[in-house]
Structure 1
Amino acid sequence: MSIVLSSGGVLFALSTLILVPAAFPCPKECSCDRQAKVVDCQGQGLYDIPNELHPETLELYLQNNHIRGISSTAFREMPQLQVLNLANNSITMISPRALLELRGLRSLILANNSIRELNRRLLGSALNLTQLDLSYNNIAGLPGALADSFHHLTHLSLHYNRLTKLDRTHLEALETLEVLHLRGNPWKCDCQMIGLKLWLETFTFKGGVVDAVACTWPDAMQERDLRHVPYELFHACMTTSYSYLFANIHHLDGQRHPLHGPQPWPSPKAPTGPELGLSAGMPMQDCEAKQKPRAVSLRHAIATVVITGVVCGIVILMMLAAAIYGCTYAAVMAKYHRQLKKQQKQAGEEVEAGALGREEDKEPLENAIA
């Protein structure tokens, strides 16, 4: 009997071992929390993404391995993934379609890899990202449309890369951003950084957190935080491009002017050196134009002409009405005075006639008495 029970127990145990992996299989190199649907494969010396990952996995930790690239099919079977940690690997290449199916991804950590550039399509489908960590890579620039997909991003880490400049247009669309890490980049604090300086001042004024933007060039600004560099050191830039500064000054109240997008630097054709008060170590060529100014919209030009015409027409009508009123009033008053003078003249004549009549009546009476 005991043998039968033992056999039954063995069979039950074997069936349990078979059914549990079937419910949530776990790669042999990893440890898994089946209830939380978490797969931990960190520090296992992996060179590739494991293949035996369950489609219902919510969190995947692959940091501290030797992964060099991520193919377009690496996470195709994991549509529910919310947290992906690939930090401390040797990643140099990421397929633009690698994250295509991860529409629920909220946290993506790619820190401490060898990434040189980001394809604009890579994060286009990750619409629900709240945390993006790209720190400790070799990124020298961000794609222009990168921020268009981030409508929920709150934390962005770009520190310790090779960024020398950052256009404010990359940041303006990040309306939910709360924390921004920019430390450790070789920032070139020339004329093109005034837009970023204004954005950073507004961002911190609203309560945003920024670690530091320490300039490495020019020498006059070296090791100084861009936010704390006085505007006097940008004197050469402002002397040759006041219109650009005024176009960006709206950042101080946190609003973007509807008629102004990202403004390029104008093409200054002015003397250089002491005549402009050029700061030491800031060559004039850094203030030159990088692209042609944006053309004025034809619709806006027509609207301006129409509005100007309407205003001028109203002013002319008001002036004409005032002139007519003045002339009419003058004519009425002149007529009134003429009638008044006529009445006064008639009254005087009547008085004189009365007096003459009394004198004529008096003469016969005097003659009769005599």
Structure 2
Amino acid sequence: MEKVLRAAAPVVPGAQQHTPPQSTARASNWLFVLSVILLTHAAHGCPDKCLCHTASKTADCKNRGFTEIPPRLPPEIQILQLQNNRIWRINQNAFTGTPLLKILDLSNNSLSSVAPGAFQKLRYLQVLNLTRNLIHYIENKTFSFLPHLKELDLSSNSITRLPETFGNSTGNITLLSLKHNKLQKMERVLLESLPNLKVVLFKDNPWQCNCNVFGLKLWLESFLYRGGISDGIVCAAPGIRKGKDLLKVPYELFGACPLRTAHAHLASTHHHSWEHRSSPKHGPHGEHGDSGRASCEPKPKARPVSLRHAIATVVITGVVCGIVCLMMLAAAVYGCAYAAITAKYHKEHSGPVRQHGTPEEKEPFDSSLA
């Protein structure tokens, strides 16, 4: 820098000095280099109001009053903190310049919806926090092309419905939080599309414990049986089930459910062939036929659904077999005792006949008379 200043000093206006042509050219070159450096820094620097940490590759943009994703974010950042702002929408190309993001925190903003493809450029994203927003619904394939996504937090929103799938390449999600929303039902097929799910949180939703959640009940039993973690589903309606744990609602109360919800789910465990024929008829519309079939296909996951019935069958069978065995044992003891008594009787009464009569004289007689 000192060299640049010394080189640039001779060209200051008003200076009465003889400047060699080489010095003037050298000063111009240095000024050009400095300009390029400053422009490059401005292009890849930190946005106004944000703090960027090179060592941790973090951009701290929280509590800055942003209404949209700030532009000119450093492309090398891996953690972007945007919580506690007023962001109300996410443009489709908002994250084009930050392809290496791994953690994105958008909690406590004003998002009312999330457009499909909003996060499609974030192929390395692992944690997405959307809690405490104003989201009302999630569209199909909103989180497509996020193959490394592991944690998805949608809690504390106003979500009333969820799609049948979050999108392509979301099978690695291990934690899903749906707490504090307005969900009344949830399709089983969505949860089945997340095979690596380890923790799912349902707390504080107005769940309607009717036929619409029967498939969810079966899935949750299977999930817990396989070692999954959940805070459970507490019924908000109907009145007779309000406050009850969905898992403790007897199966008999779902007996009046239509074929698609109750009988078809049970048939998937006990009558696989019959279920395979009936599943294409489940959907009320043609486009839902596949989802109905997917929710009823016999899978190993449905194994714990019949666990209670299997235990009851084993117990009843054991009791019946025990009773039969006891009856057979009693009959055997009675037969042996009868045979022993009969043999003893014949032994005691056959001796005198051989001593005092011919073989033809075998009529019983009183031994005292002899």
Relative to the length of structure 2, the TM-score reads 0.62
Residue type of the alignment partner of 2:172: H
Q: After superposition, what is the alpha-carbon deviation per residue over 1:113-171, rounded to whole angstroms, capped at 9, x for unaligned?
A: 11112222421122221011111112111122326531210001111112111111111
**Distance in 1, Cα, partners of 2:166 & 2:278:** 15
Residue type of the alignment partner of 1:26: C
Residues 169 and 262 in structure 1, CA contact (< 8 A), matched pair in contact too: no
**Distance in 2, Cα, partners of 1:140 & 1:228:** 24
Equivalent residue, structure 2, for 1:155: 175
Equivalent residue, structure 2, for 1:126: 146
Residue type of the alignment partner of 1:228: K
Q: After superposition, what is the alpha-carbon deviation per residue over 1:173-209, rounded to whole angstroms, capped at 9, x for unaligned?
A: 2110000011111111111222111110110111111
Residue type of the alignment partner of 1:218: P
Residues 165 and 193 in structure 2, CA contact (< 8 A), matched pair in contact too: no
Equivalent residue, structure 1, for 2:229: 209
Equivalent residue, structure 1, for 2:104: 84
Equivalent residue, structure 2, for 1:274: none
Q: How far did 1:265 drift?
A: 9.2
Q: How does 1:67-146 map to 2 (within 5 A)?
A: 67-146=87-166
Q: Does 1:38 align with 2:38?
A: no
SS in structure 1 of the partner of residue 256 of structure 2: helix
**Distance in 1, Cα, partners of 2:279 & 2:131:** 32
User: Which residue among 29, 39, 51 is the counterpart of 2:49?
Assistant: 29
Q: How does 1:246-285 map to 2 (within 5 A)?
A: 246-249=266-269, 260=276, 263=279
Residues 145 and 170 in structure 2, CA contact (< 8 A), matched pair in contact too: no
Give unpaired runs (5+ residues) of structure 2.
7-33, 294-370
Residues 67 and 86 in structure 2, CA contact (< 8 A), matched pair in contact too: yes
Q: Does 1:230 align with 2:243?
A: no
Q: How far did 1:35 drift?
A: 1.6
Equivalent residue, structure 2, for 1:186: 206
Residues 68 and 87 in structure 2, CA contact (< 8 A), matched pair in contact too: yes
Residues 147 and 173 in structure 1, CA contact (< 8 A), matched pair in contact too: no
Q: How far did 1:258 drift?
A: 12
User: Which residue among 225, 232, 239 is the counterpart of 1:219?
Assistant: 239
Structure 1 residues 23, 262: CA separation in 2 closer, same or farther (over 3 Å shift)? farther
Q: Does 1:199 align with 2:219?
A: yes
Give unpaired runs (5+ residues) of structure 1.
9-14, 251-255, 267-288, 298-370
Residues 151 and 173 in structure 2, CA contact (< 8 A), matched pair in contact too: yes
**Distance in 2, Cα, partners of 1:39 & 1:221:** 48
SS in structure 2 of the partner of residue 65 of structure 1: coil
Structure 1 residues 260, 146: CA separation in 2 closer, same or farther (over 3 Å shift)? farther
Residues 182 and 211 in structure 1, CA contact (< 8 A), matched pair in contact too: yes
User: Which residue among 194, 200, 204 is the counterpart of 1:174?
Assistant: 194
Q: How many residue pairs end up in the alignment?
A: 263
**Distance in 1, Cα, partners of 2:278 & 2:53:** 48
**Distance in 2, Cα, partners of 1:241 & 1:52:** 51
Q: After superposition, what is the alpha-carbon deviation per residue over 1:73-110, rounded to whole angstroms, capped at 9, x for unaligned?
A: 21111111111110000112333232121111111111
- Mean Cα displacement is larger for which, 99-108 or 241-250? 241-250
Residues 153 and 176 in structure 1, CA contact (< 8 A), matched pair in contact too: yes
Structure 1 residues 79, 190: CA separation in 2 closer, same or farther (over 3 Å shift)? same
Residues 147 and 171 in structure 1, CA contact (< 8 A), matched pair in contact too: no
Structure 1 residues 221, 120: CA separation in 2 closer, same or farther (over 3 Å shift)? same
Residue type of the alignment partner of 2:146: A
Residues 89 and 114 in structure 2, CA contact (< 8 A), matched pair in contact too: yes
Q: How far did 1:259 drift?
A: 7.0
Equivalent residue, structure 2, for 1:319: none
Equivalent residue, structure 2, for 1:284: none
- Identical aligned residues as a percent: 37
Equivalent residue, structure 1, for 2:322: none
Residues 141 and 168 in structure 2, CA contact (< 8 A), matched pair in contact too: no
Q: Please report the RMSD computed on the Cα atoms of aligned residues, expressed in angstroms.
A: 3.8
Q: Larger Cα Rg: Structure 1 or Structure 2? A: 1
**Distance in 2, Cα, partners of 1:199 & 1:147:** 20
**Distance in 2, Cα, partners of 1:262 & 1:54:** 55
SS in structure 1 of the partner of residue 48 of structure 2: coil
Equivalent residue, structure 2, for 1:354: none
Residue type of the alignment partner of 1:149: S
Residues 107 and 130 in structure 1, CA contact (< 8 A), matched pair in contact too: yes
